[in-house]
């Protein structure tokens, strides 16, 4: 009898322990919020201090409401800016509290999927893989009041689901200005001049012409996207749509030319580029190990943080046909509201108010300055940015072509979910000589066909 009782007690205890984390969602959120890092505490503290002072703010909810909010916090600038804006919001609205959930640093897309699968999908979030979440019915369309705040937004089946945080991360060459001045190097105005410049630096031998963070395949995406725009999109802007339709494929001469352009450029990368992570490229630049890097404007703050005295310049890399093609404009990512949260009128009102608050000039300015982000709102904030950043903004205004990254398109140009990584890895294989160009193109074709079996926006496969 005693043994039976003991067994029963043990069984019950074990099962109770196993399920202790599976309470109601609200309870889970509350317990999570307690240990949600310093950010939340500071947000809360700030709120307590100032609620009385600003308690007169018009209430937008009928009862106290808490919103969970998650963003990609891998970048220090993003973390600082978001904390600042959330603090301001919490201080302004007495009945609404925005709680920041940790964003898991670099693996943000996976975090979103995990939160979704464990039933902790945030109320407001920085959205990635937007199309997949929209198709899954996880996002709420934004009101016209919000979409009117932006110069451009991306529509998805006649609705807008994301408030773009910034213009797409415009990439260009960031270079060591002092080194250029010392050696009489000037910013190239044509592609041929760019290659000539790389060759001169290589021959000089004191540093590598380019630093490339090839271990992070998304970094390779910067260069790939440039070469792809130069060679493929310049000839056929609908290449992906045509590939879905079967009228084009990856053995196309323009795809091969993309690989050739990559090969030409990558011969100027530093030794060990395939094992260099993106996080290390700033070190190469500021320590005079490399003269140039090709990356987005988010690197400006990282360079300044690494060496305040470092003098850098920026120029776009022209295409071989003489045109300037840049990544820019509003992309498909941005702030979004969860469809589940929107079912609660208070949460919906609070979430919409938070987004509107975020993009008010005085708040949005914080985000743009910290991340060197290009503003996308109609009412542009006056941002205190460097001359180099102003140069980037100017270049996006005068570029011959401005579009999202090849993997950030929607509609008939949307890539199958697994194709981007396959392409980048295949590029690395070709650059390392593991695979010849023809077999790489054949392999891309095979993979494309397989991908199309589970995703094809033309016939709706994988969408309905």
Both structure tokens of 220:
């390779």
Both structure tokens of 449:
């066909």
Q: Binders of other proteins among 134-153, rule CB under 8 A?
A: 135-138
> Is 7 near other proteins (CB under 8 A)?
yes
> Is 23 near other proteins (CB under 8 A)?
no
CB of residue 286 to other proteins, shortest distance in Å: 14
Member of 30, 62, 199, 432 binding other proteins (CB under 8 A) = 432
Member of 51, 417, 437, 445 binding other proteins (CB under 8 A) = 417
> Is 22 near other proteins (CB under 8 A)?
no
Q: What is the C-alpha to C-alpha distance for residues 338 and 41, in angstroms, rounded to an integer?
A: 24
322 φ/ψ sector (left φ>0, alpha ψ -120 to 50, else beta): left
Using CB atoms within 10 A of its CB, is residue 368 exposed (0-12), middle (13-18) or buried (19+)?
Answer: buried
Closer CB to other proteins, 90 or 243, in the complex: 243
Member of 113, 177, 256, 298 binding other proteins (CB under 8 A) = 113
> Is 106 near other proteins (CB under 8 A)?
no
> Is 342 near other proteins (CB under 8 A)?
no
Give the phi and the psi of residue 232 in degrees, each rounded to 5. -90, -55
> Is 327 near other proteins (CB under 8 A)?
no
> Segment near other proteins (CB under 8 A), from 13-21, 232-240, 317-325, 383-391?
13-21
> Is 343 near other proteins (CB under 8 A)?
no
CB of residue 201 to other proteins, shortest distance in Å: 17
Q: Binders of other proteins among 351-370, rule CB under 8 A?
A: none
> Any idea what DSSP says for residue 327?
E
> Is 267 near other proteins (CB under 8 A)?
no
Q: What is the C-alpha to C-alpha distance for residues 317 and 315, in angstroms, rounded to an integer?
A: 6
Closer CB to other proteins, 213 or 334, in the complex: 213
> Segment near other proteins (CB under 8 A), from 71-79, 89-97, 126-134, 295-303?
126-134
CB of residue 453 to other proteins, shortest distance in Å: 7
> Is 421 near other proteins (CB under 8 A)?
yes
Closest CA to 160 of 135, 133, 140, 142: 142
Q: How many helices (H) and strands (E) does the chain have?
A: 20, 13
If binding means CB under 8 A, how many residues of this protein chain bind other proteins? 57
> Segment near other proteins (CB under 8 A), from 31-39, 186-194, 213-221, 358-366?
213-221
Member of 181, 400, 438, 453 binding other proteins (CB under 8 A) = 453
Member of 156, 185, 194, 284 binding other proteins (CB under 8 A) = 284
Residue with tokens 């709120």: 47
Q: How far is CA 288 from the centre of its chain?
A: 28
Closest CA to 408 of 330, 463, 355: 330
Closer CB to other proteins, 54 or 159, in the complex: 159
Q: C-alpha angle 150/164/343, rounded to 5°?
A: 95
Residues sharing a CB contact under 8 Å with residue 205, sequence separation 6 or more, in sequence order: none
Q: C-alpha angle 421/426/432, rounded to 5°?
A: 130
Is residue 123 within 8 Å of residue 68, measured between CB atoms?
yes
- How crowded is residue 263: how many other Cβ atoms within 10 Å of its Cβ? 15
Is residue 236 within 8 Å of residue 253, measured between CB atoms?
no
Member of 108, 273, 294, 300 binding other proteins (CB under 8 A) = 273
Both structure tokens of 64:
């106290």
CB of residue 9 to other proteins, shortest distance in Å: 10
CB of residue 408 to other proteins, shortest distance in Å: 15
CB of residue 297 to other proteins, shortest distance in Å: 25
Is residue 96 within 8 Å of residue 124, measured between CB atoms?
no
> Segment near other proteins (CB under 8 A), from 188-196, 264-272, 307-315, 326-334?
264-272
Residue ranges of E strands in 382-434: 401-403
Both structure tokens of 26:
């609200």
CB of residue 8 to other proteins, shortest distance in Å: 6
In a 13 Å sphere around the CA of 217, the CA atoms on its Cβ side amount to 11
Closer CB to other proteins, 120 or 238, in the complex: 120
DSSP assignments along 414-427, one per residue:
PPPTTHHHHHHHHH
Member of 247, 362, 446, 459 binding other proteins (CB under 8 A) = 446
> Is 15 near other proteins (CB under 8 A)?
yes
Binding site residues, other proteins, CB under 8 A = 3-4, 6-8, 10-11, 13-15, 18, 109-110, 113, 116-117, 129, 132-133, 135-138, 214-217, 270-276, 280, 283-284, 289, 417-418, 421-422, 425-426, 428-429, 432, 434-435, 443, 446-447, 450, 453-454, 462, 464
């Amino acid at each position: 009898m005693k043994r039976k009782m003991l067994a029963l007690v043990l069984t019950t205890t074990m099962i109770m322990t196993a399920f202790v984390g599976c309470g109601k969602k609200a309870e889970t959120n509350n317990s999570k919020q307690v240990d949600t890092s310093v950010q939340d505490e500071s947000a809360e503290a700030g709120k307590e201090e100032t609620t009385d002072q600003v308690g007169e703010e018009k209430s937008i909810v009928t009862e106290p409401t808490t919103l969970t909010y998650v963003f990609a916090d891998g970048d220090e600038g993003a973390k600082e800016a978001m904390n600042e804006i959330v603090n301001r919001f919490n201080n302004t609205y007495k009945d609404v509290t925005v709680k920041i959930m940790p964003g898991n640093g670099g693996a943000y897309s996976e975090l979103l999927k995990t939160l979704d699968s464990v039933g902790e999908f945030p109320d407001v979030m920085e959205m990635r893989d937007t199309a997949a979440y929209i198709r899954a019915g996880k996002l709420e369309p934004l009101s016209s009041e919000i979409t009117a705040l932006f110069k451009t937004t991306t529509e998805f089946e006649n609705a807008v689901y994301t408030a773009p945080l910034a213009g797409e991360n415009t990439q260009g060459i960031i270079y060591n200005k002092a080194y250029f001045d010392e050696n009489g190097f000037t910013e190239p105005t044509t592609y041929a001049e760019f290659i000539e410049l790389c060759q001169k630096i290589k021959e000089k031998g004191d540093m590598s012409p380019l630093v490339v963070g090839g271990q992070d395949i998304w970094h390779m995406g910067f260069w790939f996207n440039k070469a792809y725009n130069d060679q493929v999109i310049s000839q056929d802007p609908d290449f992906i749509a045509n590939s879905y339709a079967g009228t084009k494929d990856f053995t196309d001469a323009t795809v091969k030319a993309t690989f050739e352009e990559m090969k030409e450029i990558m011969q100027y990368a530093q030794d060990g580029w395939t094992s260099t992570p993106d996080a290390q490229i700033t070190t190469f630049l500021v320590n005079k190990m490399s003269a140039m890097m090709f990356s987005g404007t988010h690197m400006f703050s990282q360079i300044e943080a690494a060496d305040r005295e470092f003098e850098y310049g920026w120029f776009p890399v022209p295409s071989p046909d003489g045109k300037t093609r840049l990544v820019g404009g509003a992309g498909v990512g941005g702030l979004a509201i969860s469809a589940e949260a929107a079912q609660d009128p208070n949460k919906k009102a609070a979430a919409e108010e938070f987004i509107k608050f975020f993009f008010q000039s005085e708040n949005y300015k914080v985000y743009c300055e910290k991340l060197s982000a290009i503003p996308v709102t109609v009412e542009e904030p006056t941002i205190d940015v460097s001359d180099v950043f102003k140069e980037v903004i100017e270049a996006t205004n005068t570029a011959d072509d401005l579009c999202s990254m090849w993997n950030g398109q929607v509609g008939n140009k949307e890539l199958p979910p697994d194709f981007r990584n396959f392409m980048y890895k295949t590029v690395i294989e070709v650059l390392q000589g593991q695979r010849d160009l023809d077999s790489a193109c054949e392999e891309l074709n095979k993979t494309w066909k397989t991908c199309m079996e589970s995703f094809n926006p033309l016939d709706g496969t994988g969408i309905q």
